[in-house]
Structure 1
Amino acid sequence: MVLSLSLLTAPSFSQSKGAVYLDDKKPIEERIEDALSRMTLEEKVAMCHAQSKFSSPGVPRLGIPEVWASDGPHGIRAEVYWDEWNTAGWTNDSCIAFPALTCLAATWNPEMSALYGKSIGEEARYRNKNMLLGPGVNIYRTPLNGRNFEYMGEDPYLASTMVVPYVQGVQSNGVAACVKHFALNNQEVDRDHINVNVSDRALYEIYLPAFKAAVQKGGSWAIMGSYNKYKGQHCCHNQYLLNDILRKEWGFDGVVVSDWGGVHDTKQAIYNGLDMEFGTWTNGLNWSASNAYDNYYLAIPFLKQLRSGEVKEEEVNKKVRNILRLIFRTTMNKNRPYGSFGTEEHALAGRKIAQEGIVLLQNNKNVLPIELSKVKKIAVIGENAVKKMTIGGGSSSLKVKYEQSPLAGLKERVGSQAEIIYAPGYESPAVAEQDVRNAKKPEQKIIDVEGLRNEAVSAAKKADVVLFFGGLNKNEYQDCEGSDRKEYGLPYAQDELIQALAKANPNLVVVLITGNAVAMPWAKDVPAIVEGWYSGTEAGNALASVLMGDVNPSGKLPFTIPVSLKDNSAIALGEYPGNGKEQTYNEGIFVGYRWSDKQKIKPLFSFGHGLSYTSFAYGKVNIDKPKLAANDQLTVSVKVKNTGKRSGYEVVQLYISDLKSSLPRPIKELKGFKKVLLNAGEEQVVSFTIDKEALQFFDDSKHEWVAEPGKFEALIGASSTDIRGKVTFELQ
């Protein structure tokens, strides 16, 4: 007799009459125990694994619904066939694409994160998903990581602050935010088996804080494990991460979901904290079994051990309690809103987020903003001015309602006020369309690199200003899941093209469309550089509004842009990407600007850097008391004045420096930031509260957070290297 867990009995609700679990006035924990008591062993096991690419079974007999997940974190993925990654060809699943999370982090504005979460949560809810697979908060360790664009930068405090409103916004719609990838998933090379060796101190100070904030402050209802190993165990069933830290230390009461194909062992999956297994056989139902899903590690193998008594029933009960809690919080919450999908409101929310995230890196000679009264002809150069950036890249690929390209956005904004001429300048290889059944690999034509360059230079010579749109794209080995970048420089001979354009026209603006730092050997020859990110559906309109001066740029970098790869700590210390089996984080806590400060390396552009079309002056930094008692707090304040001629946002950043410590510490660490809007001539006092927690480091010999008495400095700056003032205080 073949056991089948996915094919359940026909619905019969007679057994549900009077059920406590249906009474939403009862406490959730009481409802969970009632539902659990009515379930068969087979029904419990079935809930612990997938029944399709993106769903797991409910219990129809008891009226308990299925769980339906959707890839995020930048939009709701198109519907796919039951057992394939290929899109199912629906006509009503075209979503709004929101900016990539590097762009969100670059806003340095928790209000934008709340708007993002609320909006994408509404889209997920309308499509009847009860779990969104995002946001991602893995730390930006090296510029080569192919999935950096999906994450929130290099600093644990910034990522922790930005993830909380996102999670709360998503979950306000009755959709669980599944924060990923827990943990240490910092490269795509060998991601499915690489064992990460990292000190406890670096783990707790750098790589865990954003996850902890999502759980304890954001109240996240779901966590996704990562593909890699830690302490020799895959992270989707990892005793140390899932049981010891997530459950015991942080008190997480949500559901732990495997990354798709991240489960490798039944015993570890049973005992090491995993609740739901997805994607173990990702090619469907043709793996030598009538139903591949029943052969998942948490399916028939799990059931056999339960029936034999080798595993106690309480082990499956633990998992089902967490799954039921997810369902009661989402699908079975009668007050759950209905959501909305593909709306103008969501598109405009995405545009606003993009506008606040776009970073003005350089603006020599005030080339920007473009004044149409002085410009008659604009040359737009570069494939990224027209290339779609919402498709490709792995699980972040989207089927969008529309995507406004930079060229289209500029044409709409400029209208008849100036002539716009376009030349591609460079070309990337053609790729097969992602997730399309029987997609044919396109024929590769010979790219005339010199001809494209000459055409672009000729156009540049005829123009008053040149806007070059380049950078990376979603092709393999660019910003793409499954592969890391192979080089730090720009692909497709763009560096040579930019140098030629700089010689042809002194009024050159380079707009980088990336989710990652890139080398810029031409930076000194180019007057203006803009980081435009992958900005989603409204990308073109957002970029045009900033370039034309309708919006004053206010984004700040969420990661350091080093001059060269050797200035990155993971590269400099020689371990990345490991030997195929092991990868050791030799840099420890010295990631990003912490490394630059320690080694006295001047970055090309610093963490927290971003210019404006106006200017800001900082006054003296003040403190309300010189000494901080152990259980007290103090206030640091500074006056910030807009000394320019137009209104604008400034991100005021607070860093803390421990002047004497028993363990090595970074020169400074971000511990606060506020984004303030100031009109021309307006002045505002910006205040920060410091308590003992802001002064702590993790002592791995004691396995506890420690704040040592002594002197500290509070530094106020416009970036990690642009410190405008500081004040000393003492922890008693």
Structure 2
Amino acid sequence: MKFKAMLLGLALMPVLSVLAQVPVYLNADKPIEERVKDALSRMTLEEKVKMLHAQSKFSSAGVARLGIPEIWATDGPHGIRPEVLWDEWNQAGWTNDSCIAYPALTCLAATWNPEMSHLYGKSVGEEARYRKKDILLGPGVNIYRTPLNGRNFEYMGEDPYLSATMVVPYIKGVQENGVAACVKHYALNNQETNRHTTNVYLSDRSLYEIYLPAFQAAVQEGGAWAIMGSYNLYQGEHACHNKRLLKDILRDEWNFDGVVVSDWGGVHSTEQAVYNGLDLEFGTWTDGLSNGTRNAYDNYFLAFPYLKLIKEGKIETKELDEKVSNILRLIFRTSMASHKPFGSLGSPDHGKVSRKIAEEGIVLLQNNNNILPIDLNKTKKIAVVGENAIKMMTVGGGSSSLKVKYEISPLDGLRNRVGDKAEVVYARGYVGDSSSELNGVTTGQNLKDDRSEDELLAEALQMAENADYVIFFGGLNKSEGQDCEGSDRISLGLPYAQDRVIRELAQINKNLIFVNISGNAVAMPWVNEVPAIVQGWFLGSEAGTALASVLIGDINPSGKLPFTFPVKLDDVGAHKLGEYPGNKKELVTKHQGDTINETYHEGIFVGYRWADKEKIKPLFPFGHGLSYTTFTYSKPAADKKTMTADDTISFTVNIKNTGTYEGQEIVQLYISDKKSSLPRPLKELKAFQKVKLAPGEEKSVTLTIDKKALSFFDDARHEWVAEPGKFEAMIGSSSRNIKGTIVFELK
């Protein structure tokens, strides 16, 4: 027996010897920092530099010699982008890369439900994992400063607290799948007009109170593994290599240990990229042999130009090792992590998730005479009007454009739900953009229509005249100049002469419902003529199903606006004070072209903060959203009258469903500083909770805050300050519908 054991031991010795020699970086059970250090020590100078830049449109190199894989990124944040050719934006021609489209992030923010945010992130992360992606380029959390920003639909609204609260669970959901969330666009990317040349100036107070909190929460609470820089400049330096943003704040103040990724084409200087905090460069010269005879990627700012400076002794390798360490850390968290889930793509479960989020984010803006929900027992004919009832919205809009497994239009969703209970007829009403292709993805729709505006209107009016209900699906689309990357909107008004059609329909039929398909606020000069208005967003694959379920009453709407709807542009601080979209300034360098300086003169007064300050009545206020049921609020109570700096205070209110539908109400807590050494908003959102109630049911809601909720950022001291004195807690159902107030004191 001993002899056999000895023989077995001798036989195992070579195996054990080999196992003992396995590099630390390949051992997934070892701490990540040990793996990073070990892998870094084994790499050549050339291998390190090669990891810092793209090798294709969406990938960067690994180190094949060491078994370190490439990094593969994919656009989001609303679904997984189809595969493109190595060097081009056009399709690779795969037949198995169709995804589920999830609602745009404005819709997610409108749910005011962190559970929905986690479910969203988890589901889209599963699709990214299945497609073997390491980085999901999203979510976006730039602040809604102007309703003209063409990319607002990809972000989470105007309020820093709401955005910060909603982005954290999304990130955690994505990263549970071993996929890095890459939060974008850091920072101050609040318009698309002149996005490469706009040079932003603003006070530190505005930066820290309004534009940074969601990014900070993404890093410190969400644990984001990647951050994407933005195209614009800040204080004269491009954001993708901006020392103040990337080193002083992101690394030194927030202790970010992930990877800073450039936006595609956002890098302009080797030395600035080296010293100012960029790790991974994408999108610079990817059209083949654009510079000399070498592979274009070798000419990136962080490629041969960087290597040459090192070899000439002009730059040391300290920054190089830091960048490669950050990239290795990302790889060990993603593709080389142990116990990665497999993920899934285009599954029925993901379709259900998309629908659930869409249903919960739809906002009922107006419901005069309670004409919604539609009672099918008393309905024989529903007239549907508008191009947006049939136009696919998953193709277009820029980098968030998708190739979807399916998309249910509002018209089809309504017809599927109504069935044979009523006749559903359709008229075009207006013709907008008949294009149906982006980067080789086609909708398969032919929306060309040569009829005149008068002919289209006449058809719609004739059809609507004897209908029980008329539903106008209008708003914006994802074409250039609307809700689309690369350009801002031309005006606040609806395009394609929709206002005329809506007004004419309102005169013909008193049961008119306007469904606004958009990611932005629009002007509604006919608001008093249209009894029911629904904010329908861009809802993804299940758009039509979700809209039908709300319109018919299968689902009671519970969304609330994540941004203010102004009556006119002059009601917005960025427009009232006159610098949007910026003032042309001097040439910065011959490579960067003209820089457009823009100062945020409105400061901290963005969105409802501005409307409150200027005593402006909005079209629809921040936090607004109606229900098919009614809720009553009790008088709120506090657990104490005074609090100290290291203490908390809780406010409690009872909410009762006094209607006949089960519904959800979002209880919002705003704080007002009654006396401050610096100007402060009239009120600021500091807590909220979504509560579900059956008819007749009553629940107690408690919202707790600490000193942070009472603080402002002091530029002079460069710190958050909570001044002793009296504060007021305002509890309400929107920023303009306050149900009760409580005065308390900070000692």
Native 8 Å contact 2:395 2:443 kept in 1:
no
Native 8 Å contact 2:286 2:296 kept in 1:
no
In the alignment, what sits opposite 1:161? 165
Pick closer, same or farther for the CA change 1:511–1:277 going to 2, 3 Å: same
Within the candidate set 433, 437, 450, 1:433 is matched to 437
CA distance in 2, matches of 1:436, 1:46: 30
In the alignment, what sits opposite 2:382? 378
Match status 1:324 vs 2:324: no
Native 8 Å contact 1:84 1:284 kept in 2:
no
Match status 1:195 vs 2:206: no
In the alignment, what sits opposite 1:579? 583
Q: Which runs of 4+ in 1 moved over 3 A?
A: 14-17, 284-289, 437-440, 442-447
Pick closer, same or farther for the CA change 1:345–1:437 going to 2, 3 Å: closer
Cα distance, 1:632 vs structure 2: 0.7
Native 8 Å contact 1:16 1:62 kept in 2:
no
In the alignment, what sits opposite 1:255? 259
In the alignment, what sits opposite 1:687? 702
Structure 1 residue runs of 5 or longer lacking an equivalent are 1-13
Letter in 1 for 2:636: V
In the alignment, what sits opposite 1:210? 214
Within the candidate set 120, 123, 129, 1:125 is matched to 129
Within the candidate set 606, 609, 628, 2:621 is matched to 606
Cα distance, 1:287 vs structure 2: 4.2
Native 8 Å contact 1:195 1:230 kept in 2:
yes
CA deviation map 1:626-666 (0-9, x unaligned)? 00011111111111111111110000000000000000000
Cα distance, 1:447 vs structure 2: 4.8
Match status 1:650 vs 2:678: no
In the alignment, what sits opposite 1:495? 499
Within the candidate set 700, 723, 737, 1:708 is matched to 723
Cα distance, 1:15 vs structure 2: 13
Native 8 Å contact 1:261 1:282 kept in 2:
no
CA distance in 1, matches of 2:387, 2:248: 49
CA distance in 1, matches of 2:378, 2:24: 72
What SS does structure 2 have at the residue aligned with 1:139? coil
What SS does structure 2 have at the residue aligned with 1:159? helix
Within the candidate set 551, 558, 563, 1:559 is matched to 563
CA deviation map 1:496-520 (0-9, x unaligned)? 0000000110000000000000000
Question: What is the 5 A alignment of 1:211-610?
Answer: 211-431=215-435, 433-436=437-440, 446-580=450-584, 581-610=596-625
Match status 1:639 vs 2:654: yes
CA distance in 1, matches of 2:311, 2:433: 55
CA deviation map 1:654-682 (0-9, x unaligned)? 00000000000000000000000011111
Cα distance, 1:369 vs structure 2: 0.2
CA distance in 1, matches of 2:741, 2:451: 54
What SS does structure 2 have at the residue aligned with 1:469? strand
CA distance in 2, matches of 1:438, 1:405: 16
Native 8 Å contact 2:56 2:286 kept in 1:
no
CA distance in 2, matches of 1:54, 1:412: 39
Identity %: 68
Letter in 1 for 2:64: P
What SS does structure 1 have at the residue aligned with 2:583? coil
In the alignment, what sits opposite 1:90? 94
CA distance in 2, matches of 1:443, 1:427: 8
CA distance in 1, matches of 2:317, 2:290: 31
Native 8 Å contact 1:648 1:678 kept in 2:
yes
Cα distance, 1:479 vs structure 2: 0.2
Native 8 Å contact 1:58 1:66 kept in 2:
yes
Pick closer, same or farther for the CA change 1:383–1:287 going to 2, 3 Å: farther
CA distance in 2, matches of 1:314, 1:204: 30
CA deviation map 1:541-584 (0-9, x unaligned)? 00000000000000000000011111011001101000241011
What SS does structure 2 have at the residue aligned with 1:85? coil
Within the candidate set 685, 708, 712, 1:697 is matched to 712
CA distance in 1, matches of 2:200, 2:286: 25
In the alignment, what sits opposite 1:5? none
CA distance in 1, matches of 2:120, 2:20: 39
Letter in 2 for 1:722: N
Match status 1:729 vs 2:744: yes
Cα distance, 1:285 vs structure 2: 3.7
Structure 2 residue runs of 5 or longer lacking an equivalent are 1-17, 585-595
CA deviation map 1:349-407 (0-9, x unaligned)? 01000000000000001110000111100001000000000001100100000000000
Pick closer, same or farther for the CA change 1:117–1:44 going to 2, 3 Å: same
CA distance in 2, matches of 1:282, 1:684: 58
Name the TM-score, length of structure 2 as normaliser.
Answer: 0.95
Name the TM-score, length of structure 1 as normaliser.
Answer: 0.97
Pick closer, same or farther for the CA change 1:487–1:524 going to 2, 3 Å: same
What SS does structure 1 have at the residue aligned with 2:506? helix
Structure 1 vs Structure 2 CA RMSD: 1.6
In the alignment, what sits opposite 1:621? 636
Match status 1:143 vs 2:147: yes
What SS does structure 2 have at the residue aligned with 1:311? coil
Within the candidate set 159, 170, 176, 1:172 is matched to 176
CA distance in 2, matches of 1:76, 1:493: 34
Letter in 2 for 1:658: D
Native 8 Å contact 2:143 2:160 kept in 1:
yes
CA distance in 2, matches of 1:463, 1:513: 22
In the alignment, what sits opposite 1:3? none
Pick closer, same or farther for the CA change 1:146–1:447 going to 2, 3 Å: farther
Cα distance, 1:431 vs structure 2: 2.9
Native 8 Å contact 2:74 2:136 kept in 1:
yes
Q: Give the length in aligned residue pairs.
A: 718
CA deviation map 1:402-423 (0-9, x unaligned)? 0000000011100000001000
Match status 1:107 vs 2:111: yes
What SS does structure 2 have at the residue aligned with 1:523? coil
Native 8 Å contact 2:259 2:279 kept in 1:
yes
CA distance in 2, matches of 1:363, 1:35: 62
CA deviation map 1:25-84 (0-9, x unaligned)? 211111101000000000000000000000000000000000000000000000000000
CA distance in 1, matches of 2:188, 2:96: 37
Cα distance, 1:307 vs structure 2: 1.1
Letter in 1 for 2:598: Q
Shifted more, 169-178 versus 577-586: the winner is: 577-586
Cα distance, 1:289 vs structure 2: 3.4
CA distance in 1, matches of 2:19, 2:133: 27
CA distance in 1, matches of 2:441, 2:522: 34
Cα distance, 1:17 vs structure 2: 4.8
Native 8 Å contact 1:83 1:285 kept in 2:
no
Cα distance, 1:288 vs structure 2: 3.8
Cα distance, 1:283 vs structure 2: 2.8
CA distance in 2, matches of 1:330, 1:287: 33
Native 8 Å contact 2:664 2:692 kept in 1:
yes
Letter in 2 for 1:486: I
In the alignment, what sits opposite 1:43? 47
Letter in 2 for 1:189: T
Native 8 Å contact 1:390 1:399 kept in 2:
yes
